[in-house]
Amino acid sequence: MSPDLQDLQPEEGLPLNLNPDQDARPTYHVRRWKTWGALAVLSLAIVLGLLRWRNVAAKKSAEQPAVRAVPVMAVAAKTGDMAVTLSGLGTVTPLNSVTVKSRVDGQLVRFPIQEGQMVHQGDLIAEIDPRPFQVQLMQAEGQKAKDEAAFKNANLDLQRFKALFDQGILSKQQFDGQTSTVNQAEASLQADQAQVESAKLNLAYSHITAPISGKVGLRLVDPGNMVRATDATGLCVINPVQPITVVFTIPADNISRLLAHSADGKHLPVEAFDRDLKSKLATGTVLAIDNQVDPTTGTVRIKALFENLDSALFPNQFVNARLLLDTLKGVVIIPTAAIQQGPEGSFVYRIKPDNTVEMILIESGVTDGENTSVQKGIAASDRVVTDGLERLRPGSPVAISKPEGANTKKGKP
């Protein structure tokens, strides 16, 4: 091998050009430059792709906010008066309910009043055929007249016997016998008078009148039917509705507080609400407190009296009774819906000036329906979240979706 070929020993992996007329160095360098060029183009493409991806990601990041505000409803705490009440489910009960029944047997011929009508004591409710009782009265009066004649005759005979007895013509035995006859006739006359009065009474009972004033219910017997004094079902029911009472229960644990407030003779006010506690039906006062606790329920029955001039309360109606014990003055009041329960106790979400929320532990006081007094943790004018609480965390930004309004109808700022 020539010395020129020895200097051109190929590197590993490159073919050896054995043609002495051709120079091998140019071929080797051309391939090496092509390789580096390809690597440079690939690197440039990768760099350009990374830059483009970074620009797109930065653009998307700029278009989307970092944290989205949570829409909530908020109410400002107020300073006002809070009522201390006791609530319980009650039933409207008439002062006295009367089932009108017949006191004699006969045919019901007339029912002059309208169903649902207000009646006064003594008004005619129904009429039973009076003719049988008029006949009984006539018979009793006839028997009385007959016995009156017998009594007069026996009395005249007694006067004659007395004259003969005084002259010694008649014996004492005969005189005493005639005296006894007069006494018997007088007793029969008294019995006849009793029969007359009984017949008059039955005749009066054929006209059934209202024993009390109140509202008449639906009639239970139609005219034309036979009625008897022993019938279990009456003719109708009369319930007084003005005034009317409500009987409700409270837990026995509160009886000492109730007795303490009523010990000075005050009539504690009671309000009657509908089933949903949204509409107040009437206002009354405590009439009586039961003398024992029901062991099965652990409650005490309270009876309250209502004037019911507008007839808003109806017998046997279910109502929610709220008894006012006391009134707390100048307390902080927030909606009950804002209070949440956690492992550490009751808390609320308070809105800070930067429209983020913080969790505040509170000490709640008296709850009066939709509002609750706060003893510690919240000050007046602090904004608390009332709706949208389930999506909040401490530090969450919020957007108030409803204008703030008064949180209580009883509070006085």
Beta strand 318-335 with 371-376 is antiparallel
Judge whether 83 and 412 are in contact, CB under 8 Å. no
Structure tokens at 17: 């050009």
The CATH code for residues 71-82+329-400 is 2.40.420.20
What 3-state class would DSSP assign to 24? coil
pLDDT digits (tens, 9 = 90+) for 53-95: 777 666 655 555 556 888 888 888 888 888 888 889 999 999 9
Burial of residue 155 (CB within 10 Å: 0-12, 13-18, 19+) is: middle
What's the pLDDT at 58?
Answer: 61
Cα 241 from chain centroid?
20
Rounded mean pLDDT of the chain? 83
For 296, list phi and psi in degrees, rounded to 5. Answer: -75, -30
Q: 35: Cβ–Cβ under 8 A, 6 or more apart, which residues? A: none
Positive or negative CA dihedral for 314, 315, 320, 321?
A: positive
Name which residue leads in pLDDT, 407 or 302.
302
What's the pLDDT at 29?
Answer: 59
CATH topology agreement for domains 71-82+329-400 and 130-205: no
Dihedral angle of Cα 60, 61, 64, 66, to the nearest 10 degrees: 170
Burial of residue 259 (CB within 10 Å: 0-12, 13-18, 19+) is: exposed
pLDDT band of residue 210 (cuts 50, 70, 90) is: very high
pLDDT digits (tens, 9 = 90+) for 267-326: 889 999 998 888 999 999 999 999 899 999 999 999 999 999 998 999 999 999 999 888
Structure tokens at 368: 């009066």
Q: Strand locations in 175-317, DSSP E?
A: 207-209, 214-216, 226-227, 236-239, 244-251, 269-273, 280-289, 299-306
Percentage of residues of the chain with pLDDT beyond 90: 40
What's the pLDDT at 283?
Answer: 93
The CATH code for residues 130-205 is 1.10.287.470
Edge-to-edge strand list for the sheet holding 207-209:
207-209, 124-128, 106-110, 226-227
pLDDT band of residue 27 (cuts 50, 70, 90) is: low
pLDDT band of residue 410 (cuts 50, 70, 90) is: very low
List the chain domain ranges: 3-60, 71-82+329-400, 130-205
